[in-house]
Structure 1
Amino acid sequence: MATNTDFFDYLADHLLILIISSLPFKDAARTTTLSKRWHDLWRSTKIVEFKESFFTRQSHASDEDNETSRLRFIDFMSHWIQNFRGVELDNFHISFLNPENFLEHIALAIRFATSHQVRKLEIDFSDPCWDSEDVHHLQTHVSSFDLPIFVYQLGFLESLKLSFCNVQALEFTNLRALKHLSLAYIDLSSSSLKSLISHLPSLENLSLKRCQKKEAIDIYSMSLQTLVIDKCTNFYDNWIAITAPNLHFFKYCGTALTFHFERMSSLQEADFDFALENEYAEMGDCLYFLLHDLDRVKFLTVCSYFLQIIFSGIEPMGLRYPLVVQHLTLKTALHANEFHGIAYMLNICHLLEILSIDLIPAMIFSDYEPPFPLTPYRFWIEEIDYQCLTTTLKRIEIKGFRGRPNEFQLLRYLLKHGVLLETLKIDVSREGDMETYVQNAQNLLNFEKASSCLEISIS
């Protein structure tokens, strides 16, 4: 029987290059050991990744060793570029910490990519450790790299990801084929962002991560389909305005703000995480009007802050008109402070089919004041009629289950009243005593169930 290597020997070089181009860059490099024929084929790969982390980033290494590794990385990159045998590139990714001593090498590497008609370009000078830093401390980091002017001339570029480099918003006028743009750790004014977006008629996906803002965010785009705003801080004006008639997906993580949505009739999925809030604030009215603007959303995710604050809005009993949400995800600690918010969401989602509960640590506010008298252990005993439980809800998913009293109380209520329930999927927490959590979950099998066709899975 022929070996795999023998089988590949029958394939033409251009087919082998296609196979190599489907592999991560490090795996493509390993193909050089397969045979003499394979030794140089990877130098024609269409996917190139130059990551400093391939050579350094060992926590126990000395500064001297790390600097030696950085020089090895630069030498490897320069040598590989000189020996490239391909014609075009699909993807090019370069990531490098503190590039100020190697700016010329970095610029030459980017020039190499652009000269080979690269379609997807990623340039990253951020430190992975920054993801765990307080967002307000990020302003102490100052980028030393200016995006080369020739990058702005790439009329064929389809995807651009930039992290911790300086950009000129007014130079984006020629990137008319750009569909995907990701900006991280970049200082942008509201006017610069608005100007940048206005020059990108094909833009479909926009991601802003930890970008330092000087004013409110104001986004206007006729082509935008997905938008992610992740922990962008330093707002002087506490609001975000979005006009995007073709936007399907919106995700926001940061402090609680006022949202102004216009012409958002295509929005199908929204995710709001106000985990950066560390103080109780009367934002209920803002959240109430936000829900009003989500009248066509079918997939909705809300956080613990949302659940604790929403009742303090204009209508603590719910919206004037119900939402059309079919899949609701609650990121919650299932603390008693969140009970009224959970009930609020169940009450306004008349068409709910799937309820997902992600049990996570959350900021619980000690100055929380419930809208009505709250007796936690009796809250889910009350015979309250939520329309979705008797007409639409078919599936419940809970992640991070441990078997705490509040978890049992809510699930007992849902099982007792979920007439059409078909599935209850329990994923126990991976932290702590998993065996005990599984045993706790098995107690659910003995709970009263309104549905005769309910299946319970535990993993």
Structure 2
Amino acid sequence: MDSTSQPDMFLALPNALLVLIISFLPFKECVSTSVLSNRWRYLCHETRNISFKESDFLNHSFSNQESRMDARASFFRNIRQWIPIIQDQAFIESFEICVSFPIGYVDEIKDLIKLVVSKKVKKLSLDFSKPAWRGYNDVSRFDLIVELPECFYSLTTLESLKIFACEFDPSRFANPGLLRSLTIGWIRLTKVESLLSKSPLLKILRIKQCWGLDLTMIDGQLRELVVENSDFSYMTCSFDLPNVDSFTYSGDVISFHFDKINKIIKEVYIEFGLEGEYDEPNQSTIVEGEVLSGFLNNIRGARKLTVCPYLLQVIHECENPYYLLHPIETQHLVLRTKMHPKEFNGIRLLLNNCPNMKTLTFDILPPSFPAAFSYAGIDPRTYWMQNISYKCLRKTLKVITVNNFGGGSNELNILRYLIRSGGGCGVLERVEIYMRNTSKENQRMTTLARAAMLQRTSGRVQVLVHNV
């Protein structure tokens, strides 16, 4: 039958159901349905999910400032057209505004926030951060020009709040008792414990690129915790998280204290990329080795564990028997590594203490160390030739994945060792190698040839090479 003769099923649907359907679309696409027909022209006005994103109006290819200013003016004209539509709404389910350069429009933004607050919004996202920012040190006090209206702090219907780069005082919230998800970023964040203590239903907490953080205790019924490159005023934090499933921390090494932690955590991700690299162990790195060993011992129930190069460098320097790493329950270990000899002892230590590991992933990062023939007595040519095996290699490890494989000698040596140890009398089934993306044909062919060499010498272990 000719498809053109098929009846339009949407014609039979009531408007209320059509509004529900288009409300699941991104706001820009939801609005675009107004051109479909006369019936659809105003349906988008009934959506309870509204989003004004500057990026939908500003093209980064604009060649001059005047063009960008015109586009920004057009963006706010569009917002003004929606104000009477919002005013007619009984309530708003979700509202989002993303403006990276609010100068000249601050009063309009505040009035808009007042309006959506009056509509008892449940999910609110206010983002005034700049895409060019890479860390909180890029932010000056002159960038935080949007001050939230008083009525914002009286809102009692909030279930989800995302707030970036504005003047925000968590202690002024009167009754955030329904809050389940909180994301705060690019803010001088003080007195946040006051807000957390009033939010018994909070399940998700994300703190990103904040400074002046006077938080010393994170507790409650959280399921997900993310702390990303934020400045702790006291360089210490305690955790009482008996239900947490996902724990992510990146930033400086601080003193971690765990009162309670879930015995089974689905995923832990730790990244200390802000720490400077060092050439020789010293008292500071020994102490940090103890701190990070203690950290891993406390989150030993992590089923998936992702660690960074800095941890691989310092963890084996722990000398205090009290903090020495104990076996952990990790089944999927992800090593973000630069494949430098500085990291080899840390890799061995984790292999030895992950007796139940089933999957091992290497995320190979670009090297930042100077090329080294050896380090602290470690010769990378012979280090992985030692006849040392571990329980996971003999009993449990089935899959190895290598991302961003470059074919370097250190990469090849460790893979040969793992294939030899896990494939001989072990249970290793396959090695998945994903090639590094490069535009240089000669480099790509050399890397492919080295990966193929692993295939030829892998015995019963299947080595699969993926050319990204």
Is the TM-score greater than 0.5? yes
1:44–1:87 Cα contact (<8 Å) kept: no
1:198–1:220 Cα contact (<8 Å) kept: no
Counterpart of 1:429? 436
Which residue, out of 119, 128, 131, partners 2:131? Answer: 128
Counterpart of 1:58? 60
Deviation at 1:246, TM superposition (A): 1.8
Corresponding letter in the other structure for 1:67: M
Residue 41 of structure 1 pairs with residue 43 of structure 2: yes
Which residue, out of 371, 381, 386, partners 2:385? Answer: 381
Residue 104 of structure 1 pairs with residue 107 of structure 2: yes
Distance 1:364 1:60, change over 3 A: same
Distance 1:267 1:99, change over 3 A: farther
1:301–1:328 Cα contact (<8 Å) kept: yes
| Aligned alpha-carbon RMSD (Å) | 2.5
Counterpart of 1:244? 241
Alignment length (residue pairs): 449
Distance 1:39 1:140, change over 3 A: same
Alignment of 1:351-366 (within 5 A): 351-361=356-366, 363-364=368-369
CA distance in 1 between partners of 2:121 and 2:5 (Å)? 35
Residue 229 of structure 1 pairs with residue 218 of structure 2: no
Residue 273 of structure 1 pairs with residue 271 of structure 2: yes
Deviation at 1:169, TM superposition (A): 1.9
Q: Secondary structure at the match of 2:187?
A: coil
Deviation at 1:230, TM superposition (A): 0.6
Which residue, out of 28, 31, 34, partners 2:33? Answer: 31
Alignment of 1:3-402 (within 5 A): 6-84=8-86, 86-130=89-133, 132=134, 134-139=135-140, 141-189=142-190, 192-213=191-212, 215=214, 217-233=215-231, 235-266=232-263, 268=265, 269-280=267-278, 281-282=284-285, 283-314=288-319, 319=324, 321-361=326-366, 363-364=368-369, 373-402=377-406
Counterpart of 1:443? 453
Deviation at 1:442, TM superposition (A): 2.6
Deviates more, 1:288-297 or 1:60-69: 60-69
CA distance in 1 between partners of 2:140 and 2:229 (Å)? 13
Distance 1:424 1:88, change over 3 A: farther
Deviation at 1:441, TM superposition (A): 2.3
1:87–1:116 Cα contact (<8 Å) kept: yes
Q: Secondary structure at the match of 2:302?
A: coil
CA distance in 2 between partners of 1:139 and 1:107 (Å)? 21
Q: Deviations over 1:40-75 (max 9, x none)?
A: 111112321111222225353432332222222112
2:419–2:461 Cα contact (<8 Å) kept: no
Q: TM-score, normalised by structure 1?
A: 0.91
1:355–1:395 Cα contact (<8 Å) kept: yes
Deviation at 1:32, TM superposition (A): 1.7
Q: Secondary structure at the match of 1:375?
A: coil
Distance 1:196 1:367, change over 3 A: farther
Q: Secondary structure at the match of 2:105?
A: helix
1:304–1:363 Cα contact (<8 Å) kept: no
Corresponding letter in the other structure for 2:145: S
Q: Secondary structure at the match of 1:376?
A: coil
Percentage identity across paired residues of the two chains: 31
Corresponding letter in the other structure for 1:23: L
Q: Secondary structure at the match of 1:298?
A: strand
CA distance in 1 between partners of 2:373 and 2:210 (Å)? 31
CA distance in 1 between partners of 2:5 and 2:120 (Å)? 37
Corresponding letter in the other structure for 1:160: L
Alignment of 1:407-418 (within 5 A): 407-418=411-422
Q: Deviations over 1:243-265 (max 9, x none)?
A: 22222211111122221111113
Gaps of 5+ in 1: none
Deviation at 1:395, TM superposition (A): 1.2
Which residue, out of 404, 409, 427, partners 1:405? Answer: 409
CA distance in 2 between partners of 1:442 and 1:55 (Å)? 48
